[in-house]
Chains A and B, each alone.
Chain A
Amino acid sequence: MDIKQVFRTLSEASGVSGCEAELAQHIQEACPWADELRTDKLGNLIMLKKGQSPGPRPKVMLAAHMDEIGLIVTKIEEDGFLRFSTIGGFDQRVLLAQEVVVHGKQKLTGVIGAKPPHIQTQGEQRKAVKMEDLFIDIGLDSAEQAGQVVQVGDLVTIKRGVSDLQGSFMAGKAFDDRAGVAAILECFKALSTITHTADVYGVATVQEEVGLRGAVTSTYGITPDIGIAIDVGFGDSAGLPDTGTIKLSQGPGIGIGPHVHPKLLERMVETAQEWNISYSLDPTPNPGGTDAYAIQVARAGAATILLSIPLRYMHTPVETLDYQDIQRTGRLMALFIAGLDHEFVEGLTCF
């Protein structure tokens, strides 16, 4: 299984929060290493790879979200243009002149437009076009025509194929967090050749972008001892300061902060050093919304850690990363898991 190719397919597939079924299907087909596969009521895909020891075995949950940010049709104008709102966080400035797919009765290609420059007033070009002034042009001429194929509430995704940049750099949409999903697949693949005690639950979660919802229910169902959330982190890029960003091509950022159990942090860093896997430290005093939070506070709580794959231009249609960072993340997790035993897990409550 060529996971890089799977990653490409996942990026180009459509799955706005709440509508991730197409993704779950692709991921399922790409994971021959799981002993059990199931989907829960919210749509989380749960892949179980059992440990090689007599039970009960420690449970490790790996979580990466498969949903992407997108748009939703809010109105069909009389001349056939569509108005929209966002699902998840979009900078209004990245939307102008993007191509989109409107998921109506069939998939329709559209273009996001705004009023043309020659009728704008002086100075208007220095201002961002406001979200409410943007519209989608699907090439239909009336509300009646458009209404036959689109209705209010239809979802819209960015239309963007993956670009291969120099070396192992890639650019595309929805790398946040299909990169994390690919890292889980890389981990499962690596684990297929390594002995491990723990049961490993790889979860492609739903609805992260609108509030970590899939991780809440999947964690409840799994009740892990250890949770590893794999998400994307702010990669170094032009115009961003060094502080608060992690460098591409240097492996995952290992989170440090309230969302990270100190013993997991220690063990993760040791593992990386022992196996010579490059990593960055990613101190986050006020951890934001990642699946790590949902796992951490589920039921009686779980020890969690966050691995961040460095990503440039997050939440834009040209998210950019180094595929090798995904491989490094997968390998680091596999080696970390291989080193886990009951004793370590029991020690997690000893402060």
Chain B
Amino acid sequence: MLLARLTQANGAPGQEGEVRDLIRAEIEPYVDVLKMDTLGNLIAIKNPDAPGPRVMLAAHMDEVALMIVGVDSSGYLKFRPIGGVDPRVLVAKTVTVGAKKIPGVIGSKPIHLQRAEEREKAFAIQEMVIDIGAKSKEDAEKLVKMGEIAYFTTEYEEIGQNKVKAKALDDRVGCALAIRLLKEEVSFPLIAAFTVQEEVGLRGAGVAAYQAEPDLALILEGTTASDVPGTDKHKHATAVGQGPAITVMDRTVIPHPQLVQELFALAEEKGIKVQVRRNTAGGTDAGQIQLSREGVKVAVIAVPCRYIHSPVSVMSKDDFEGAYELVKSYLARLEEREGSR
């Protein structure tokens, strides 16, 4: 299954190769132009020279991960997060390190040797190490290089009521949507930008948009869901199972109001359940894409994911299908408009 393969591939910011190769092989048969730029963005275009609006779908390939920044005298690996990771989710997890995919664990002190008050305090990232079973510093340095990346090892699995648990749903879910949508037959230029380095400051998206010169862009994301116990309903940024979320504003962008309204109207017309993203924190590639050249009309359509930026996130396949149907309907609507012109 595509989403399973996408989430189980590894791609830290700046090291998206494994994900890019997978996507490239997947979309090659459907597109007319396929190019990569110096940052590593993968840009696919259908009908590059056709008349009509240049429509871009964008999804980022990178995921949060851990960078190896040192080896201590006993052969334990020191690390720091690359992208935003709450250190508390790292305790007692398995990882795979570097090009050689060396298995390792992030251990913690036995409960028996702790004072009760210690357990109230979160472990700091500086206290944590990855144990690969190396016997010495030299032993570890033969296997792992400085700057290599440790990834979570979570396997994709379908659970409960049409749910999926996996790592890196942010934003492989967007990649999976864009790949599927590229198979749509349209007559106008359709671009899919699989971007790099979103998690460290939206670095790939602007560069990709500059080259692709879209008139309009739909950013496909995995966004935070907070429909969990202990959270008041009014603080649910999004809720899993309530349909794809449409952003009206976040820290980086105010999506084009008309486009947003059009999407809501279309969803209603087609009977697709959607929700408003009820939080203005966080940012997406839309922030950079809207500012490309003389500006781009953008909207963000996101699949709600619980526990994002942790080793294991949870989403609903129904929301994924909803996002797919909504964008597909939108592309069909554009196609109708173009046809009648």
Contact = CB atoms under 8 A, between A and B. Distances in A.
B312 A89 contact: no
A15 B188 CA distance: 60
Contact of A116 (B76, B94, B119, B307): B307
Interface of B is mostly: loop
A125 B228 CA distance: 18
Interface string A295-319: 0000000000000000011111110
A341 interface: no
Contacts of B227: 79
B18 interface: no
Nearest to B104: A165
A320 B314 contact: no
Contacts of A93: 88, 91, 108, 119, 122-123
Contacts of B122: 93, 125-128
A138 B231 contact: no
Interface string A116-127: 111100000111
Interface string B72-96: 1010100000000011110111100
Contacts of B226: 115-116, 118-119
Give the size range of B's interface with the partner.
35 or more
A160 B131 contact: no
B86 A81 contact: no
A247 B93 CA distance: 22
Contacts of A94: 91-92, 108
Interface string B145-169: 0000000001001011111010000
Interface of A is mostly: loop
Given A89-B111, A109-B157, A171 B94 contact: yes
Contact of A166 (B133, B230, B307): B133
B89 A314 contact: no
Given A99-B165, A119-B235, A165 B110 contact: no
A77 interface: yes
A109 B87 CA distance: 24
B109 A127 contact: no
B159 A139 contact: yes
A320 B105 contact: yes
Contacts of B312: 97, 99, 111
Contacts of B86: 117, 125
B159 A90 contact: no
Given A116-B226, A116-B307, A312 B87 contact: no
Given A128-B119, A167-B135, A318-B105, A244 B113 contact: yes
Interface in A129-184: 129, 133, 135, 137-141, 145, 160, 163-167, 169, 171
A115 B226 CA distance: 7
A108 B309 CA distance: 23
A30 interface: no
With most chain A CB atoms within 10 A of its CB, the pick from B87, B161, B235 is: B161
A285 interface: no
Contact of A318 (B88, B106, B114, B163): B106
Nearest to A77: B229
B1 interface: no
Given A118-B226, A318-B105, A166 B134 contact: yes
Contact of A127 (B113, B120, B160, B308): B120
Top 4 A-B pairs, shortest CB-CB distance: A139-B160, A169-B133, A165-B133, A139-B163
Given A108-B159, A244-B113, 11 more contacts: A79-B229, A81-B229, A97-B93, A116-B308, A133-B230, A139-B159, A139-B161, A171-B131, A317-B93, A318-B93, A318-B107
7 contacts: A92-B119, A97-B310, A119-B226, A313-B131, A315-B110, A316-B107, A318-B92
